[in-house]
Amino acid sequence: MRLKDKVTLITGGAAGIGKATAQRFQEEGAIVVIGDVKEDAGAAVAAELGLAAFARVNVVDRADVQRWIDGVVATYGHVDVLVNNAGVLRDGRLVVVKDGELVKQMPEADWDLVLGVNLKGVFNCTQAVAPVMIRQGGGVILNASSVVGLDGNFGQSNYVATKAGVIGLTKVWARELGRHGIRVNAVAPGFTATEMVMQMPDRIRQEMASHVPLGRMGQPRDIANAYLFLASDEASYVSGAVLRVDGGIVVGT
């Protein structure tokens, strides 16, 4: 019961790593509240796992986020852990040129969407919860980065920019908020067998796993266990860190 009675907010909690983290934290005694734009899926997960609550939250909308945080504080009086997990993908190359002619490029809308959810969303949620944690004298903020934020990856300009940005924010906030007893860390997952990945053809998943020194993709629970460690008192002297959970992979090799 490493998180007994710790009020924990998890964005993007309706599926994948967010759902696994909600389940793992609840197993360790946390009071788990998940937020997601997928209302039906989020409500179903909250009911399935017996979580404290689900709220429909668009992390890009600052006012929406503030309402969520205010509601949680009104109900429980405090927020101990925030897991900024919500994220989206819209992969594509910066430009595609054939015979010297530009034939395709990443749409501006795809850039804006990914930057909005993956980076602005982290900013919005952290900015809303930080004053609460400062007033109560401490807390833990955990951010979802990725190995591609460290190594880069072909065809993911927008996604890589956000995940590298999250690492930068993590280090800044660890410095700014540490004096208030708030620890800020990031987790950088590698290839992880989420629902989205498992819908890919077998040959693609096998190709992904073949690049991992441990010979397999990670499971959502593997990432959840990393979040659990960083949220617990066992990591009481860890802040500003980026924990790779990737089976030893170096993307692009």
Catalytic residue among 76, 159, 227, 237: 159
pLDDT tens track for 190-220? 988 887 777 778 888 788 888 888 988 899 9
Task: Based on the residue annotation, tell me whether 227 is a catalytic residue of this protein.
Answer: no
Can you read off the two tokens belonging to residue 84? 């900024």
Please count the residues of the chain: 253
Which residues lie below 8 Å from residue 38, measured CB to CB, with a gap of 6+?
14, 15
Compute, in degrees rounded to 10, the torsion defined by CA atoms 172, 175, 180, 186: 60
Every domain of the chain and the residues it spans: 7-245
Helices (H) and strands (E) in the chain, counts: 10, 9
**Whether residue 236 has pLDDT greater than 90:** yes
Residue 253's pLDDT is 62
Residue 251's pLDDT is 80
pLDDT tens track for 48-102? 999 999 999 999 999 999 999 999 999 999 999 999 999 998 999 999 999 999 9
Maximal C-alpha separation, the chain: 62
What CATH number labels 7-245? Answer: 3.40.50.720
CA distances from 246 to 139, 155, 210 (A): 26, 20, 13
User: pTM value?
Assistant: 0.93
143 half-sphere exposure, CB direction, 13 A CA radius = 36
Residue 211's pLDDT is 85
Q: Return the DSSP state at 178.
A: G
CA-nearest of 87, 65, 117, 115 to 16 is 87
